[in-house]
Structure 1
Amino acid sequence: MLMKFAIQDFKDDREFQNLSKQTIKTYQIILGEFQKFCAEKEVLNVEDVTSNIVKSYLLYCRKSKGNNPVTINTKIKNLKAFFNYMVNSDVINEKRNPMLKIEKIKTDTKIEVFSDNHIKQMLGYYRKLKGREHSFYAYRDHTIILTLLGSGMRLGELCNLKWNEIDLISGTIIVFGKNRTQASIPITDKLVKELAEYKVFCQQHFPEPSEYVFINRENKPMTTDAVKNVFKRLKAIMNFKDVRLSAHTFRHTFAHRFLMNGGDVFTLQKMLRHSNLKMTEKYLAIWGTALREQNEKYNPLNSLDV
């Protein structure tokens, strides 16, 4: 089967499986890039793809495109899903699956988080803008940062958030996460206050406010790319040299502060909506030294005469 037809079949199947638009878009980008690479190697049919071709593609992504290990692993994951589908569809034989012996590569365990100074600089910048001509962007982007920082929400979850999913009375947000899973998470009084003020601002700014929380000038929901562009502009202004300015860094910061302030890993798992506790425990492994310091400082045995 021609690669381009196989990719279309795979895309149709993912849409039938009701995967999110962002997930399908990621598949399209990666598989489209892989198809182009194969075409340049004169490999047009799925059946002709070998593990060596896949390895050559991944090496090209690392050396020529500068992809980091995390990005490479994302591409491996997507290619595995595609070729497994080809096997299940009887397009290729299971033993001919080129992804059989290709494993994810090792990644650095360092997880970046924002410091108090980083956060103060970002929020201070938007506070100064609120009284000027860019007040809409300032209110919106300021609220985006507080929502990410105060909830540990993923970027896609943020963009899909609707006002009817926020209960400002009980202080909860209904989040639709990966694989269409739904969860209700609590939010602090501070975030409730900020969201309530931002909601009033939107109602005054637009004759017919959108059902979505974070919108653009045309009153349409922001895409993930639009939010990423917000952070790109902010990164240029802040000029942070020691941390990546992204939605996921806010998520990591939420997890870090939660644990450093005495939160337990089981509650954090529910807040981050990790399906597997091991995903949450990686934070413990990385920040274990800091946790030990906290334990030495606050352990109840310190106040007992034993």
Structure 2
Amino acid sequence: MGRKFIVERGPKATNDRQSNNDRKTRDVRYTIDEAVEIFIRAKEAEGIRASTIKGYYDTVRYFKDWLNEEKQYTDEISATTIREYINYLRTERLPYQGDTQREGTTKGLSVYTINIRLRNLRTIFRFLFTEGIIMANPTSNIPLVKDDAHEEVQGLTDEEIDAILASYEDKLFAQWRDKTLVLLLMDTGLRINEALSLAGDQVDFKELTILVPSQIAKNRKYREVPISREVAKRLRQLLDETQQYFGDDCQLFMNSYGEDFTADAFRRRLNRLKGKLGIEKLHPHMFRHTFARNYILNGGDIFTLQKILDHADIQTTRKYIQMDKEHLRQQHNKFSPVRRLFNRKGRKL
């Protein structure tokens, strides 16, 4: 009679392909905060930027505020929970809630904002499932929210640009700084955070270029952006003034107290200006769209524009080129093949 021998210890293996991670979750429960910290540490190890990490923290904070301590553990979050949260964001949540200067009365966040939060939640829960921290991913069958077709972000009209620039009082430092920032954004298409992070040594006043380092650029690619001589002159004046008051190591854009001028502070100032001028919408990204549209209208090509705007995909660049009816009429009038036939000397049709 042959002898029996043991190959593996413990109970016989089952056929359900149960992983070690799955077995672990039966014995260990993680609170939402504990699980998120594990996720954040993993992302930090991957070299994710601090701004992205903040976005994850903000998403979880909004989600937990809605949960209101009803659910504290990750295994209590189901697909139904996620869907209920999405419905709350679509129909009940007030935009800019808590911001007394921007809070609106119309309920429901934009589809764009909801999908940002949903993408972050899907990334977090997918990680937790892969790591065996949760038994099931509650977001696995949750699609992004769809929206009816709507216009892309429009740039500003020439009349609105004129009104904005004329509203600034050049004798006041803060307003002259804001005007310089507006001109810079419309001259270069820089993102607002790229512009506000500029130091004096990132501007080449001789070659008329701005260096955007990879640490700041959204796509983590170093690039040089050309600027006009007129804007370069204003930046030189601004740098001289800020260095005179606040020292040589200051940023280009500072507030009146010698602190870094922030994107949120600029948004608040634009919001007040919007009401003063009677402009329907006014936020920093509109200057980037204005630059893109006018660059093409003035004869620039889309491939160069893609490089300037730092877009990885040219389809993104196409979305930035939104022209209103007047611009379409002007371009048609200028380039219509039939009109050129009629304009030929002595041509009759």
The TM tier, using the shorter chain, reads 0.7 to 0.9
Structure 1 residues 86-97: aligned runs within 5 Å: 86-93=128-135, 96-97=137-138
Shift of 1:259: 1.7
Residue 187 (structure 1) aligns with: 227
Q: How many residues align structurally?
A: 295
Question: Among 57, 60, 84, which residue is 1:56 paired with?
Answer: 84
Residue 237 (structure 1) aligns with: 276
Residue 24 (structure 2) aligns with: none
- Alignment gaps of 5+ in structure 1: none
SS across alignment from 1:184: strand
Question: Among 50, 57, 64, which residue is 1:21 paired with?
Answer: 50
Moved more, 212-221 or 12-21: 12-21
SS across alignment from 2:303: helix
Question: Among 82, 87, 91, which residue is 2:124 paired with?
Answer: 82
Shift of 1:220: 2.5
Deviations along 1:122-141, whole A, 9 cap, x unmatched? 21121xx222xxx2202211
Shift of 1:101: 3.1
Shift of 1:214: 1.1
Quick check: 1:123 aligned with 2:174? no
Shift of 1:291: 5.5
* CA distance 1:223–1:125, shift in 2 (3 Å): same
* CA distance 1:185–1:209, shift in 2 (3 Å): same
TM-score relative to the length of structure 1: 0.86
Moved more, 287-296 or 257-266: 287-296
Residue 157 (structure 1) aligns with: 194
SS across alignment from 1:170: coil
Shift of 1:167: 0.8
The structure whose Rg is larger is 2
Residue 152 (structure 2) aligns with: 110
Equivalent-residue separation in structure 1 for 2:254 and 2:54 (angstroms): 20
Quick check: 1:212 aligned with 2:251? yes
Residue 4 (structure 1) aligns with: 33
Shift of 1:67: 0.8
Deviations along 1:200-242, whole A, 9 cap, x unmatched? 2223333x1443111123322223222222222322322313x
Identity %: 28
The letter of the residue matching 1:216 is N
Structure 1 residues 252-263: aligned runs within 5 Å: 252-263=289-300
Equivalent-residue separation in structure 1 for 2:75 and 2:188 (angstroms): 45
Residue 318 (structure 2) aligns with: 281
SS across alignment from 1:96: coil
Quick check: 1:199 aligned with 2:244? no
Equivalent-residue separation in structure 1 for 2:274 and 2:45 (angstroms): 38
The letter of the residue matching 2:258 is N
Shift of 1:3: 0.7
The letter of the residue matching 2:110 is N
The letter of the residue matching 2:37 is Q
Shift of 1:300: 8.4
Question: Among 217, 229, 241, which residue is 1:177 paired with?
Answer: 217
* CA distance 1:99–1:34, shift in 2 (3 Å): farther
Residue 98 (structure 1) aligns with: 139
User: CA RMSD of the aligned region, Å?
Assistant: 2.6
